[in-house]
Amino acid sequence: MKKITLIAALAATALSFNAHAQIQKGNVFVGGNFADLNLGLDNPKVFNLNVTPKAAWFVEDNLALGGYVNFGLETTKHAPTTTSYGAGALGRYYTGKDVEILKHGRLFAEATVGFGGVNVSEGGGKTNGLNLSVGPGFAYFITPNIGLETLLKYNGLVGFGNATSQNNLGLTFGLQIYLPGQSTANKVKGDYNH
C-alpha cells in the first residue's frame, strides 16, 4: 500500500510542478549545449559540430556552480579544418519566478571561465589561452526534470598563438536534466516514512 501511495504522490507532484523545484539548493543539473550541427550533403562537403557537456550543483536556490567541457570540429572538403576545445568553471543564476508568458520557463544568465583554444589547420589562425563567456538564456521545462534551453553568449579567447585573441557571439540550444540532491531525496524519503 505504501508503494501505491508513493507512486500516486510522485505522479501528482509531476503533474503540478513548477520550474522552481528543479533549481532549489542541493539539486544538480547535467546535460549540454549543441551548436552548429551541420552535415553538408552537397558540394562543398561540410561537417560542423560543437558540443558542450555541463554539470552544476545548486549551492543556493536559483544559483548553480559547476563545470563544462567543449569540443568543436569543422571540416570542409579541400579547405582547412578548425578544431576548438575548452574546459573550465561555470556559474548560472536563474530569475526568481516563472516567466509569465510560459508558465514552466525561466530566464537565466550564465558565465564561464577556463582555458581553451581555436586552431585552424594549414596556416590558419591559432589561439590558445584564457576563455571567457557570458550571456542570457531561457530554459523551458518540458517535464519536472528535463529542460530545453537556448543560450546567447559572447565568447572571448585571449592567449598565445599567431592570433592573440578571437571573439564571437553564439546561439546554442541544449538539454539539461535536473536531478534531486541528497537533501531533496532525504525529504521525500522522510515524507514517505511518515
> Is residue 67 very low, low, confident or very high in pLDDT (cuts 50, 70, 90)?
very high
- The residue that leads in pLDDT, 58 or 191, is 58
Distance, CA of 87 to CA of 44 (rounded, Å): 31
Distance, CA of 26 to CA of 161 (rounded, Å): 41
> Is residue 124 very low, low, confident or very high in pLDDT (cuts 50, 70, 90)?
confident
The residues, ordered by sequence, that sit 6+ positions from 81 with a Cβ below 8 Å of its Cβ are 73, 74, 75, 120, 121
Distance, CA of 26 to CA of 24 (rounded, Å): 6
Q: Note the pTM of the prediction, 2 decimals.
A: 0.78
Q: Which domains does the chain have, with CATH numbers?
A: 2-193 (2.40.160.20)
pLDDT tens per residue, range 15-41: 334 455 688 899 999 999 987 666 666
**Sequence-ordered strand ranges (E) for the chain:** 28-39, 46-60, 63-76, 82-94, 105-120, 126-143, 146-160, 165-179
